[in-house]
Amino acid sequence: MDSPLFALMLATTGDATKLLLEMFLVFASAKLLAEVAERLRQPPVVGELAAGVLLGPAVLGWVRPNDLLSVLADLGVMFLLFRVGLELRDFRLTKVGANALAVAVVGVVVPFLAGWGLMVALGHPRIEAVFVGAALVATSVGITARVLAAKGLLDHQASKIILAAAIIDDVLGLLVLAVVSSSASGTLNLVELCTTAALAVAFTFLVAQWGTRTMEKIVPKLESRMRSGEGQFTLAMLAVFGLSLLAVYAGVAAIIGAFLAGMALAKSVDHRVHEMTTGVTELLVPFFLVGIGLHLDVTALKDPGMLVLAVAVTALACATKFIGCGLGALRMGWRDATRIGIGMMPRGEVGMVVAQIGLGLGVIAPGIYGVVVLMSIATTVIAPPLLQLAYRDLIRVEAEGQALPRVG
């Protein structure tokens, strides 16, 4: 419910002051609830997501989604994936390509068919059912990456499979969305679709395969000619924004470009760049996580039928990614298959984008939009504690290793 005090404060302040107040509320609440989550032995990301639900229209109504917060959120997830890429010094997409491809393909087909089948079985229009299926295809790698990075688990084989599969999933998911959106608007162009697919695959493969070696040659030469301070950080920022922009033009998400930029620079920059990137990431990521929680729409839950449907779609979303991606990784053993299945569960902002496109095209009802948004947020909140549980043995080993006294 809205607070009269905060409503008065927001109504009597200028635009700049209002934005500063919202930024303060978002950052402070995210860090406060992250601390609470840590003390409850839960991943901090759970607290940051809960801060968005608490501040947003669903509970207090102090902060509502707006353009500035959306920009900060986009920058937050970009820098999160860039930082993750920087930590992967020995990561090669081609080394895990076969397993990651199997995980991604099965993890796209199973959720799509299940979501579409459920909605058709319940009597919803076929195009609406297709959009719900497309929303279930999505994976928000930022959430899983946040949990794994915080626990120092990015170098584990299952973690690398999750990251690689999420990249492939992003390409496949965007192609599915392009087909669905084009079909809904009656403008399906197979030549354009195939061109987009080829560009997306080529961009991702080329940067992943040769980006590191290219940067190892370019960065030292450019840095030696620079006279301004923090030359490596300047080059890193040019790389992250440049490759993010190229990724969008190539037909994939900007965060994939940011991740690939981090991978390419992992062996070319020193610890100072890592420290500065961590600082920027810690500033911006709360806006990304809180922004997801801000979109919770409780009006969809007032109808008991929609509430039941939301629970059913959420359960289906969790089960299909867990089973589908887990089956794709089964050759690695059941432990890693479990970790990968859970790691691919969060839909986050990606699922909401699909729902917004469907709503904008007029092919899904507002109630179904609310169901998809709730599913996106619920899977994003459910996954981190399950992921921590699945990695508990590795987390324990990591903690014990850090606790060992240094010799000499």
Contacts of 327 (CB under 8 A, 6+ apart): 106, 337
Asked if 53 and 293 count as a contact pair (C-beta separation under 8 A), the reply is yes
What pLDDT, in 10s, does the model give residues 122-174? Answer: 998 888 888 889 889 888 878 888 888 888 888 888 888 988 888 888 778 77
Give the C-alpha separation, 252 to 244, whole Å: 9
The pTM of the full predicted model, rounded to 2 decimals, is 0.82
Asked if 161 and 332 count as a contact pair (C-beta separation under 8 A), the reply is yes
CA atoms within 13 A on the CB side of 66: 11
- Pick the residue with more confidence: 3 or 46? 46
Residue 390: both structure tokens together: 């699945």
A 10 A CB-CB count for 365 gives 16
* Torsion angle, alpha carbons of 330, 335, 341, 343, to 10: -140
Helix (H) or strand (E) holding 388: helix 366-390
Asked if 257 and 243 count as a contact pair (C-beta separation under 8 A), the reply is yes
Asked if 264 and 207 count as a contact pair (C-beta separation under 8 A), the reply is yes
Domain ranges of the chain: 65-395
Contacts of 17 (CB under 8 A, 6+ apart): none
Q: What is the pLDDT, as a whole number, of residue 276?
A: 93
Mean per-residue pLDDT over the chain, rounded: 84
N-terminal to C-terminal alpha carbon distance within the chain? 59
Q: By C-alpha distance, which of 323, 301, 295 is closest to 69?
A: 295
What pLDDT, in 10s, does the model give residues 283-320? Answer: 999 999 898 888 887 776 777 888 899 999 999 999 99
The CATH architecture that domain 65-395 belongs to is Up-down Bundle (1.20)
Give the C-alpha separation, 218 to 226, whole Å: 13
Q: What is the pLDDT, as a whole number, of residue 187?
A: 66
Give the C-alpha separation, 226 to 106, whole Å: 48
**Burial of 218 from C-beta contacts in 10 A (0-12 / 13-18 / 19+):** middle
Q: What is the mean pLDDT of residues 379-385?
A: 89
Residue 366: both structure tokens together: 């507002």
Measure the CA angle with vertex 159, ends 325 and 133; round to 5°.
30
Residue 399 identity (one-letter amino acid): A
Asked if 354 and 177 count as a contact pair (C-beta separation under 8 A), the reply is yes
Residue 260 identity (one-letter amino acid): L
